[in-house]
Amino acid sequence: MQKLVQKAFRYLKAKGKSLDEVEFVVLDLELTGLDPKVHEIVSAAWVTMCSDRIQLKSAMHIINSDVKQLDQSPVYHGIDEQTLNEGVSLEALMTELCDALHDKVLVCHNAYLDWGFIRLNSKALGLEALPLAIVDTMQIEKRRQLKQNTELHQDSLTLANCRTRYQLPDYEVHNALTDALATAELLLVLINKIGAGKPLKLSALM
């Protein structure tokens, strides 16, 4: 119970912080499917962002060598058995990721999906993922479009289509690192659109 109270307090405190006070970890996971109970993390990539700058030197891309069933990964992710052999164990990957997320703001495009995999896998390994807060660029864009009375279709909120609306360039699809960078760039645009040049608090993105 005490842990839940502490987490709630951290979350509420984080919402009141200005964007200049927090560090973002922008993450993308490549997965074998959509259900964290039966599917696996193929790779994870992330890049940090602070003070409106993407820290390219911080970029990480880690492949999970423990994947049991690649399914369509060689087609969609470009990751085959040979590439897996160059990776690390799931425990090593999740340890690195949990360390990176500690007291940072996690950013994903479809955070519900990615956070589900992070939460389940970290718990199974006896690890604890403790981001300061979670920001979802897909949900930010959804709110913006609905506010403008835009009719949303099935693929309206894909990362590629969200970027296209803001004239951002195309990146190679289904690559964890390029998708993490693409999400970071989208977040910068959304911050600019929402703030219109004025300072924002983290709550404006949540």
Domain borders along the chain are 22-197
How confident is the prediction along the chain (206 residues), in pLDDT tens digits per residue? 556 656 666 767 788 999 999 999 999 999 999 999 999 999 999 999 998 899 999 999 999 999 988 766 655 566 777 878 889 999 999 999 999 999 999 999 999 999 999 999 999 999 999 999 999 999 999 999 999 999 999 999 999 999 999 999 987 666 899 999 999 999 999 999 999 888 999 999 99
Q: Please tell me the distance from the alpha carbon of residue 23 to that of residue 48, in angstroms, as a whole number.
A: 7
pLDDT of residue 51: 84
pLDDT of residue 82: 81
Count the helices and strands in the chain (H runs, E runs): 8, 5
The CATH code for residues 22-197 is 3.30.420.10
Q: How far apart are the first and last CA of the chain?
A: 24
Q: Please tell me the distance from the alpha carbon of residue 44 to that of residue 61, in angstroms, as a whole number.
A: 6
Instruction: Tell me the pTM.
Output: 0.93
Residue 28's Cα: distance from chain center in Å? 5
Residue 103's Cα: distance from chain center in Å? 15
pLDDT of residue 94: 99
Distances (CA, A) of 179 to 28, 169, 185, 204, 206: 6, 12, 10, 23, 21
